A and B are shown apart, each in its own frame.
Chain A
């Protein structure tokens, strides 16, 4: 599909390293225009340079945003729209909600939200909300959220979703990855059948990245180093994700969870429509978005 992406535009969060950077590079080589998002301006510049080396002709823009903060997510959506307008392009063909984090100790963001919930789920939820008009303007658009097989063991506790009473970093990570699939499921349900925007969740597999090393104390850091030694390179995971984001073969697919370009059966809890609806309503409140009339309790 080498030249098929020439007129397509994608936004990728967490694009300065790991899976996000590898996916951006892959899409860029095929001619796609890219907006990469990272937290640090310096790392954004490095990623931008690397993407330009991969394809000097591609249109590349990097935006910085701290996705822990909802105000930053909203600002990012505005900046992305401005950048697209500057490119003379008023649509987005794909959004990759890839940025993810792991925290060993519980930390609350400035919005009062547990950090993994803020970054792994709500940032993607809110960014998708803001970018939906641009996605809907494309002939066929995808919202892909990077989930993980760690969702299989997850179980949302509706009385204490963020595990404030008994925090566990890994359990929270799994819960947010379950939320990624439920979000994709509910987004599709809300968009309905006639839509040109489809949402999917991707399992990248066990990938050699630094996710388990950032802000993690000794023992957990060592465990992650041991675990990831059996993982695949980010480039391997990127192929499946780029396929899900851009390949026409995925059009019309009803499956929600994918790995390496093939649908995969997620946990039954990830397919529960009631949980998906409830999570959507909770997320709406957590992002201070207005509740839609149809969501009001009957």
Chain B
């Protein structure tokens, strides 16, 4: 049994973006480990379908709550219910995130705002709220889904990559800040995950690079939970991605941005995915 695997009382693990590809993988892995789950996403129907399967297949205790996390009032409503129900949490997995790919100026200002609101504002707010509801008798584990895109400025994904950079820096800082308070923060930095047909097409458009950098979601969830329980600050799934991160760190940011811009532009000529969501 891993340290922190024995849960005190009824405290739960909360997962945002739980009905998406990576969110489902986290939910299934947690259910199979016997954790009690609090799942949130946009669609109540999707959450119900998933939780029915998790309850039956793994005997998991699951609470679902649909919530538009980009809406501060909706979030506040969810927190009120959590407080009223006296819910306690030992972990939070911030998966909910979005990207609308394409040149910055061709995107609607609404799309740009949604990226910032969901990827940054909602993640920070949820983290802040759940620290209030943390199980006082247990270490509190936070997992923030950043991206390999957090390590370099990325033309054509400028807002998204910068939002993930924000999450990476925030996670590292918060982890150091709260270490003595019994809180660990883990930033997950995956390459593109094959979670939707659009994502698979985007991976294929990258050719052999896409092939070697892509990791299966199940394995990413297992590896990340293990890393969080061990208190590791950063998880980069896949040896090729770890290699890319090291290479990227040796290159000046301006040069990295130029190189990545060339790569993305050529990949986009082959396939133009409308939406490339990470969670």
Contact = CB atoms under 8 A, between A and B. Distances in A.
A113 to B, nearest CB: 7
A167 B216 contact: yes
Given A108-B24, A218-B211, A286 B57 contact: yes
Contacts of B19: 110
B53 A288 contact: yes
Interface stretch (A157-165, A186-194, A228-236): A157-165
B195 A111 contact: no
B50 interface: yes
Contact of B25 (A70, A111, A164, A217): A164
Given A110-B46, A166-B219, A219 B211 contact: yes
Interface residues of B, number: 34
8 contacts: A69-B49, A105-B216, A107-B217, A108-B21, A111-B52, A112-B24, A112-B27, A287-B56
B204 A107 contact: no
A107 B195 contact: yes
A217 B203 contact: yes
A217 B21 contact: no
B9 interface: no
Given A107-B194, A215-B200, A288-B56, A164 B221 contact: yes
A285 interface: yes
A110 B49 contact: yes
Contacts of B57: 112-113, 285-286, 288
B60 to A, nearest CB: 10
Contacts of B221: 164
A134 interface: no
A195 interface: no
Interface string B1-39: 000000000000000000101001101110110000000
B53 A113 contact: yes
B219 A165 contact: yes
A106 interface: yes
A288 B62 CA distance: 15
A18 to B, nearest CB: 21
Given A167-B216, A288-B56, A105 B46 contact: no
Interface string A284-295: 011110000000
Among B28, B55, B207, max chain A CB count under 10 A is at B28
A50 interface: no
Contact of A167 (B32, B54, B219): B219
B222 A164 contact: yes
Interface of A: 69-71, 105-108, 110-114, 162-167, 215, 217-219, 285-288
B86 interface: no
Nearest to B210: A217
Contacts of A286: 53, 56-57
User: Sorted from nearest, which 9 A-B pairs have the closest CB atoms?
Assistant: A164-B218, A105-B194, A288-B56, A106-B216, A167-B216, A111-B53, A112-B53, A108-B24, A112-B28
Interface in B52-71: 52-57
Interface in B116-168: none
Contacts of B218: 106, 108, 114, 162-165, 167
Interface of chain A: mostly helix, strand, loop or mixed: loop
A108 B210 CA distance: 20
A129 to B, nearest CB: 14
A278 to B, nearest CB: 14
B50 A111 contact: yes
A285 B19 CA distance: 20
Nearest to A71: B49
B223 to A, nearest CB: 9
A112 B210 CA distance: 25
Contacts of A217: 200, 203-204, 210-211
Contacts of B94: none
A165 B49 contact: no
Contacts of A105: 194, 200, 214, 216
B165 to A, nearest CB: 26
A210 B222 CA distance: 32
A164 B194 contact: no
Contacts of B54: 112
A288 B207 CA distance: 40
Given A165-B218, A167-B219, A108 B28 contact: yes
A286 B32 CA distance: 12
Nearest to B54: A112
A164 B56 contact: no
Nearest to B51: A112
B204 to A, nearest CB: 5
Interface in B172-229: 194-195, 197, 200, 203-204, 207, 210-211, 214, 216-219, 221-222
Most buried by B among A69, A113, A164, A286: A164
A218 B210 CA distance: 11
A226 B102 CA distance: 37
B56 A285 contact: yes
B40 to A, nearest CB: 15
Contacts of A70: 53
Nearest to B20: A108
Nearest to A286: B57
Contact of B217 (A106, A166, A215, A285): A106
